[in-house]
Amino acid sequence: MALLLILAVGSSRFFLLDDRAGAQAATGPSLPQVIVSDPLERQVDKKLTFLGQFSAVDRVELRAQVGGILTGIYFKDGAIVRKGDLLFTIDTEPYAIKLAQAQAQLKSANAQLVLADQELARAQALATRSFGTVESVDQRTSDRQGAVAAIDAAKAAVRDAQFDFDHCRITAPFTGRIGTHLVSIGNLVAGSRAATSPTTLLATLVSLDPIHLDFDMSESDYETFSRYRAQAGGALGNRIELALNDDDHFSREGVLDFVDNELDHSSGTIHARATIQDPKFDLTPGAFARVRVAASPPGPVLMLPDAAVLPDQSSYVVLTVSADGTVVPKAVQVGDLRGGLRVISSGLSPDTKVIIDGLLYAAPGSKVSPKNGTIRYSSTSQDAD
């Protein structure tokens, strides 16, 4: 009896498990769930992106206008210097001597003029009383004119000597960042006022605020931009955005103030330049940045979360869900980021169900269980390329 009872219980459990397995086989395994949404449609203007390089608005080579022994360096290499700051000094002793000589010559010329005035007065008085001749008056008049000319020459010599003396001090012509000093104290430097004469390069100085950003546009991009610029006009058409290499967002702005007057025949590009204000001196001449300019007025575009757009070698695809729940990949053309979303230039229709979450469970050709989601545009998001 006990044996029969055990066999009866075991048989019932076997049939119960077999019924459950059969029910599971009949219903099949559960499908992976994914979040889908129609692409978000918004009014967005088209923008073109280029690679640019910063350059200084002003750049100067600091050279001496007088020669002599370098006696002082008054800056730290690579520092920011202000307009008028003292940078170098040259031994002033030879030029102080020259200035003293010129001032002495001026005093002598003044004394000669006093004597000439006195002699001219006596000659004129004698001629009035018929004790002198007209020739004597003419001679004394000529002497006086010579004394006046000597004073003018002496004054010019004083200004020349003062100029040399003053230029023993080399100051910053504008505010900017100075490079390393190229000559040490104690060296003899060559100086000249003439640009053709050999002089000693002491250092270089570049301005930082504002700063230029140079970039090149292809012929087709230039034509697209020119049409938009003519329509927009003013500040709107000349506005540019830029992002540094270490920045994912176009967080800075500038003004396009120069476009060259002809295309480069060898490269098929045209040179353009923007000016950016940099009061904190954050930007460095020679560094690279990405430039973005508006190329069309706002128009309707489709947008998706950037994570939903998958790179496929040289193109991009998104995963969509058909009416029967099948995952279907679609190739798309993409644009830049706007409001945290990626612009889709072509390849999708507004009613396409795109997988925006759960991509790991969605293999092309497989079946999924779609659930509707929502795509949100962030008006406070910094756009990135």
pLDDT-derived band at 383 (thresholds 50, 70, 90) equals low
Supply the CATH number for residue 182's domain: 2.40.50.100
**pLDDT band (50, 70, 90) for residue 21:** very low
Q: Note whether residue 290 is domain-resident.
A: yes
Do residues 285 and 319 share a domain?
Answer: no
Mean pLDDT of 46-65: 91
Asked if the structure places residue 4 within a domain, the reply is no
Specify the higher pLDDT residue, 251 or 20.
251
Q: Please say whether the dihedral angle defined by the alpha carbons of residues 23, 28, 33 and 39, taken in this order, is positive or negative.
A: negative
What gap in Å lies between CA 87 and CA 91, rounded to an integer?
14
- Tell me: do 231 and 267 sit in the same domain: yes
Residue after which a domain boundary falls, among 251, 278, 294: 294
Q: For residues 195 and 319, state if they share a domain.
A: no
- Chosen domain end from 142, 167, 192: 167
**174, 185: one domain:** yes
pLDDT band at residue 238 under the 50/70/90 scheme:
confident
Q: How confident is the model at residue 23 (pLDDT cuts 50, 70, 90)?
A: very low
Give the containing element (helix H, strand E) for 37. strand 33-37
The tally of domains found in the chain comes to 4
Q: Which pLDDT belongs to residue 9? A: 40
Q: Give pLDDT, residue 166.
A: 94
Cis upstream peptide for 32 (omega within 30°)? no
Averaged pLDDT for residues 75-89:
95
Question: Do 82 and 174 belong to one domain?
Answer: yes
Is there a contact between 285 and 55 (Cβ–Cβ < 8 Å)? yes
- The two tokens of residue 197 are 């004469």
* The pLDDT of residue 19 is above 60: no
Q: What pLDDT score was predicted for residue 105?
A: 93
Rounded CA gap, 277 and 8, in Å? 91
pLDDT at residue 91, as a whole number: 95
Examine the pLDDT at 384 and tell me if it is beyond 60. no
Whether 28 is covered by a domain: the verdict is no
Q: Which residue has the higher pLDDT, 331 or 4?
A: 331
Same domain, 279 and 240: yes
> Is residue 226 located within the same domain as residue 179?
no
For tokens 């989601």, name the residue: 373
* Tens-digit pLDDT profile for residues 254-312: 999 999 999 988 889 999 999 999 999 989 999 999 998 888 777 788 989 989 999 88
Q: Is residue 365 part of a domain?
A: yes
Q: What is the pLDDT of residue 385?
A: 53
Provide the domain limits for residue 142. Answer: 92-167
Tens digits of residue pLDDT in 142-200: 888 888 999 999 999 999 999 999 999 999 999 999 999 999 999 999 998 877 778 99
Judgement on whether residues 68 and 199 belong to the same structural domain of the protein: yes
* One domain for residues 322 and 283: no
CA dihedral 196, 198, 202, 207 (to 10 degrees): 10
Rounded average pLDDT over 360-364: 88
What's the whole-number average pLDDT of the chain? 85
Q: Last residue of a domain, which of 206, 229, 259?
A: 206
- The domain that holds 336 is classified in CATH as 2.40.420.20
One domain, residues 214 and 275: yes
Does residue 210 have a cis peptide bond before it, meaning omega lies within 30 degrees of 0?
Answer: yes
163 in a domain, yes or no? yes
Ranges 35-39, 119-123, 125-129: which has the least confidence = 125-129
Task: Give the lowest-confidence range in 46-60, 86-100, 118-132, 201-215.
Answer: 118-132
**Is residue 7 situated within a structural domain?**
no
User: Do 214 and 349 belong to one domain?
Assistant: no
CA 169 to chain CA centroid, nearest Å: 32
Judge whether 18 lies within some domain.
no
Co-location of 235 and 259 in the same domain:
yes
Total Cβ atoms within 10 A of residue 13: 9
What is the rounded distance in angstroms from the CA atom of residue 199 to the CA atom of residue 32?
78
11 located within any domain: no
- The pLDDT value recorded for residue 380 is 59
